[in-house]
Amino acid sequence: MSLPPIDPLTAALVVLATAGTDAVYVMFTSAVAAKRRVPAATWSSIWYLLSAFAVINFTSNWIYVVFAAIGSWVGAYASMTFLHRPKRT
């Protein structure tokens, strides 16, 4: 069984889109938890745009799901690192 062809640029863009999607999701959740309506709505719309790009690209080739998972992990890790950085005094 051979793997479908992989376009490196598309794979990289899927990784970036899903990393961005997860980072935006964390920011959205943070805004919801803080009961900040405008930031929550803004993050939600950005989240939708990024996830639509990833879904459109990897539904035509299942192998891009692997790249989506990598991007998802990177995005969640990076945004959690950003949210939990030490406070400056």
Cα 40–Cα 26–Cα 52 angle in degrees, nearest 5: 80
Report whether pLDDT(20) > 80: yes
Beta strands in the chain (DSSP E): none
Q: What Å distances lie between residue 75 and 10, 13, 36, 65, 80, CA to CA?
A: 17, 13, 22, 15, 8
Asked if 47 contacts 21 with a C-beta cutoff of 8 angstroms, the reply is yes
* pLDDT tens, position by position, 26-76: 888 888 898 888 888 888 888 888 777 767 766 677 777 777 778 878 877
pLDDT, residue 68, reads 75
